[in-house]
Amino acid sequence: MNKKIQSALISVFYKEGLEDIVRLLHSLDIQIYSTGGTQQFIEKLDVPCVPVESLTSYPSILGGRVKTLHPSVFGGILGRRDNETDLMEMKQFKIPEIDLVIVDLYPFEETVASTKEEKLIIEKIDIGGPSMIRAAAKNFKDLVVVASKSEYSLLGQMLKEQDGATTIEQRRRFAAKAFQVVAHYDIAIYNYFHPENEWKVLNEAPQHTLRYGENPHQKGLFYGDWNKIFNQLHGKEISYNNLVDIDAAIQLIREFKTTSFAIIKHTNVCGIASRPSVADAWRDALAGDPESAFGGVLICNAAIDKATADAISEIFFEVLIAPSFEQDALKILQSKKNRILLQLAPNAPVAKSMYKSVLNGTLMQDIDEGNFEKWEETGGRNSSAQEKEDLIFANLVCKHLKSNAIALVKNKQLVGKGCGQTSRVDSLRQAIQKAKQFNFKLKDAVLASDAFFPFNDCVEIAHGEGIGAFVQPGGSIRDKDSIEYCKQHNLAMVITGMRHFKH
């Protein structure tokens, strides 16, 4: 059923875009009620406005904490227009009907992000706003609620086209959006008080509709704001699979502090190296597996220069991510229209939790932070200084490979990797085969394993190829088998106490 709007209550923190709505409401002879800063804003537009205080007979009190929390306001919002008792009581207490509620919320999340001062943060917990939004959304049969400035254009178009009237379907859609806004707000407040147990509103409105999901026959949506993480400088629309690999790439590169370049394919690292220059890091990352790099996602933790851009442009890739690009480099890289170029945002937020849909629910876990809990040299000798650097590097890389995972590293370059195999020894064989395919000599290389060695076969096979140092979390009832082999053959074996499964 269509409802003609006769009156509106407006109380917002953000005034952007509000002027057009206020003038439109005035042109439609809609009575406007307001309070505080919003009232002042409206009056400066020379638009008549009734102060909420004239309804409540109370001024704004307690430093603005109490303004609209009054039966004269909530009665006008919650009163059922088809209920004779409600109408009689509204008439008895001189409560006006309110047909449109435009209310947004104090910037709680923005305040948390900008200050550590709890007094300021607590004052940005909105009370009246969520209450009015929920009340108006509950009574969507009789009024329309707008809980976000992102809805102003839709409201304006609707009022113009329908001469100030709304349909039940429209009011219901606005109500659904309003409940989503309040749910997100409440979760943000909960997360502030319980940072160790962060929640998310998993069904909040998606901000990006993707071309499709993992495959063309699957629907794909992204829930979140990727503009907080990166700025797209060039290229085609980002796909579902791009996003999965972009996430894997960013998680990986955050582990490395020195200049490093990495190549990701289907979330696995297929090449990575740390070097003094970006160009050298790119060259050695690519050398690790130039075959798998085709169509991959590339990431660097330093600025992309012209020399590196020239070298990168020799292969086909989907995405390149970096903190910055020199202008000459950008010009070279933009020569292909579909290449996705992403500039990482400085101080981009880092998720503390990860989620996965399983069965009829959702799994949540902390992200896998850290590299090792201890550094226990248990082999026939201690690792050398060079081996230790490579073992630390290899263990970080291995952490970002799908289990069962083996990483072979030499001079801070991934020279072989095995991942996603159903047995650890198969992953090792895959890693050795990859290294040999691209002519790497494994003498003096090191090996990292994401989980313990259940037998000594992996150590024995790797030793046969010239590998002399190993790092693994330990924890097997047969740890001693691998340790004893290392002792007998003068090999280094480090136990970290931290497993890095990735499924």
DSSP letter string over 129-164? Answer: HHHHHHHHHHTTTT-EEE-SGGGHHHHHHHHHHTTT
Catalytic residues: 138, 266
Tokens of 287: 């050398």
Contact 292, 258 (CB under 8 A): no
Residue 282 near residue 304 (C-beta atoms within 8 A): no
Sort 429 into a burial class: Cβ within 10 Å, 0-12 / 13-18 / 19+: middle
Query: What are the C-alpha distances in Å from 406 to residues 346, 399, 445, 501, 503?
Result: 32, 9, 13, 11, 14
Cα angle value 219/222/225 (rounded, 5°): 165
Dist. CA 500–CA 404, nearest whole Å = 10
Q: Which residues of 289-307 are buried (b: 16+ CB within 10 A; e: fewer)?
A: beebbeebbbbbbbebbbb
Look at residue 35 in the predicted model and tell me its pLDDT: 86
The Cα 176–Cα 210 span in angstroms is: 22
- Residue 151's nearest CA partner among 159, 143, 163 is 159
Give the integer Cα–Cα distance in Å for 143 and 246.
43
Q: Where are the alpha helices (DSSP H) in 465-498?
A: 479-488
The residue among 269, 223, 219 whose CA lies nearest residue 248 is 269
- CA gap 406, 394 in Å, rounded: 9
Residue type present at position 350: V
Residue with tokens 């999965």: 244
**1 token code pair:** 């059923």
- Return the bridge partners of 33, or none: 9, 50
| Amino acid symbol at 455 | F
List the pLDDT tens digit at each of the 503 positions of the chain.
Answer: 788 999 999 999 889 999 999 999 999 999 999 988 899 999 999 999 999 887 877 777 777 777 667 888 889 999 999 999 999 998 998 989 999 999 999 888 899 989 999 999 999 998 888 999 999 999 999 999 999 988 999 999 999 999 999 999 999 999 999 999 999 899 899 988 987 766 665 555 557 889 999 999 999 999 888 999 999 999 999 999 999 999 999 999 999 999 999 999 999 999 999 999 999 999 999 999 999 999 999 999 999 999 999 999 999 999 999 999 999 999 999 999 999 999 999 988 888 888 888 998 888 888 899 899 999 999 999 999 999 999 999 999 999 999 999 999 999 999 999 999 999 999 999 999 999 999 999 999 999 999 999 989 999 999 999 999 999 999 999 999 999 999 999 999 999 999 999 99
CB-based contact 156:100 (threshold 8 Å): no
Q: Extract the tokens encoding 395.
A: 């263990």
Phi/psi of residue 62, nearest 5 degrees: 55, 45
Strands 353-358 and 340-344: unpaired
- Judge contact between 101 and 52, C-beta under 8 A: no
pLDDT given for residue 198 in this prediction: 66
